[in-house]
Structure 1
Amino acid sequence: MLREKERSYLLKLARDSVLFYLNKNELLNVDSEVQEAFQEGEGDDSLLFKRLGCFVTFKTKQSDSLRGCIGIIESEERLYRNVIEYAVHSATNDPRFPSINEGELKNLNIEISVMGEVKDLHNLNDIEIGVHGLIVERGLSRGLLLPQVAQEYGWDRKLFLEQTCLKAGLPANASEDRETKLYFFDSFCFSEEG
């Protein structure tokens, strides 16, 4: 679990990273700042230094509409570096949306989902809505929906699985095909709005 100080730092880091990229066209480097702020006096147990995947999501403040969401499930990179990279990708490279500009950024809330372990899904009843996310894979097709998506839309387990299949570009009933692989994971989600 991330401490409050770490959550606040990562949310600010995501926003600062996008602003820096929009102005300098390069990724922000905060290695020494993070070392000083989070290792000194707190030991090496800070999750910021763990090799964890994350997703960074932008939503409009006014209507809570999705404006960008990109991330990585598993990573060999440290969490804080992934937040920098995927905040920028989410703001500038989500193919569903035009790039976010500096003026628009102030009207967006940032949400970060830190990924947990990915496990094989054998029984749909193992899924707890709002706690687990889903991944569907078949061939080169892959779809992922974060835990909060099913909760936000009021989906049950079956509809959550169907929507994840559709996100992969597969038929809604693709999970019935033996070639389709199903996975679930948990994530820890936090946002600027609480």
Structure 2
Amino acid sequence: IVATMMAAERLGGGQARVIKQANSGDSVAGDRTRVVGYAAVAFTKSPSVPGQEYALGKAEQDRLLEIAGKSVETAVKQHTLYSSSDAGLPSLVQERGAFVTLTSQGRLRGCIGYVAPLKPLHETVRDVAAYAATSDERFLPVAASELDGLEYEISVLSPLRRVKDINEIEVGKHGLVIRKGSREGLLLPQVATENKWDRLTFLQQICEKARLAPDAWKDPEADVFCFTAFVFGKGKGQKGH
């Protein structure tokens, strides 16, 4: 998916629209207990408004945090996916990439997201919240006894933009994606701020996240992209990046 987004970005296609989603279980003889998913996506040029930053109002933020919490609880207790809705909020129907970060007592407990804007925002948050709680390979799945102590942070992503000059990267504003061959990595904007990294350290860390040499960003075969994120959370105050 990231490779396709990068190719589309090179051609000026920064906005994705899902045309059709299906899985192998939808066929006449399909087995719905074990499926492979498919999607047809159109990438188009997205109109930009100079100086306009993406933002969500309090109602949208509260609804997404509610969805994230209920999705985690449903995944942990019932081992199924929560049925979310947009609650009549148009911005939650827009297709955008997003990450959900879970922390407990100040420590990371899980973080997973979609870079590509392949689903309505409320469904993206629902999905990645559940996956952060149950499928982040760095941690054991969240237990029911931990639910009351979890804090939630949601990062809604902008489209990726190719970095042509590293001086374009603004620490605290931009997140980074790097891809070289089959290896890729992503770091959210707030990670650099929380760790007090400068631009060079941020570049080195994104390389290490992708299991590349610290200076791999200099390689002509490496693709580096930046993005912004609107970040808000429960129990941490709300903030935009």
TM-score (norm 2): 0.73
Q: Of residues 16, 34, 57 in structure 2, which corresponds to 1:3?
A: 57
Higher helix share: 1
Greater length-normalized contact order (CA 8 Å, ≥ 6 residues apart): 1
2:84 and 2:125 map into 1 onto residues whose CA distance is: 11
Q: Which runs of 4+ in 1 moved over 4 A?
A: none
| Equivalent position of 1:74 in the other structure | 116
1:3 and 1:151 map into 2 onto residues whose CA distance is: 24
Q: Secondary structure at the match of 1:111?
A: strand
1:131 aligns with 2:173: yes
Q: How does 1:16-55 map to 2 (within 5 A)?
A: 16-31=70-85, 34=86, 37-39=87-89, 46-55=90-99
Shift of 1:74: 1.2
Q: Deviations over 1:41-76 (max 9, x none)?
A: xxxxx221000010000012x3x2111100011122
Q: Secondary structure at the match of 1:117?
A: coil
2:219 and 2:84 map into 1 onto residues whose CA distance is: 46
Q: How does 1:22-171 map to 2 (within 5 A)?
A: 22-31=76-85, 34=86, 37-39=87-89, 46-60=90-104, 62=105, 64-171=106-213
Q: Secondary structure at the match of 2:160?
A: strand
1:179 aligns with 2:179: no
Between 108-117 and 16-25, the greater mean CA deviation after superposition: 16-25
Between 180-189 and 121-130, the greater mean CA deviation after superposition: 121-130
TM-score (norm 1): 0.91
| Equivalent position of 2:15 in the other structure | none
Q: Deviations over 1:2-25 (max 9, x none)?
A: 110110111111011111122222
| Equivalent position of 2:50 in the other structure | none
Structure 2: stretches of 5+ with no match in the other structure: 1-54
Residues paired across the two proteins, number: 182
One-letter identity of the residue aligned with 1:125:
N
2:231 and 2:80 map into 1 onto residues whose CA distance is: 27
Shift of 1:111: 0.2
Q: Determine if contact 2:75/2:134 at 8 Å carries over to the other structure.
A: no
Q: Determine if contact 2:76/2:133 at 8 Å carries over to the other structure.
A: no
Shift of 1:38: 2.0
2:81 and 2:193 map into 1 onto residues whose CA distance is: 33
**Percent sequence identity over aligned pairs:** 38
Structure 1: stretches of 5+ with no match in the other structure: 40-45
2:98 and 2:92 map into 1 onto residues whose CA distance is: 11
1:175 and 1:30 map into 2 onto residues whose CA distance is: 39
One-letter identity of the residue aligned with 2:136:
D
Q: Secondary structure at the match of 1:106?
A: helix
One-letter identity of the residue aligned with 2:68:
A
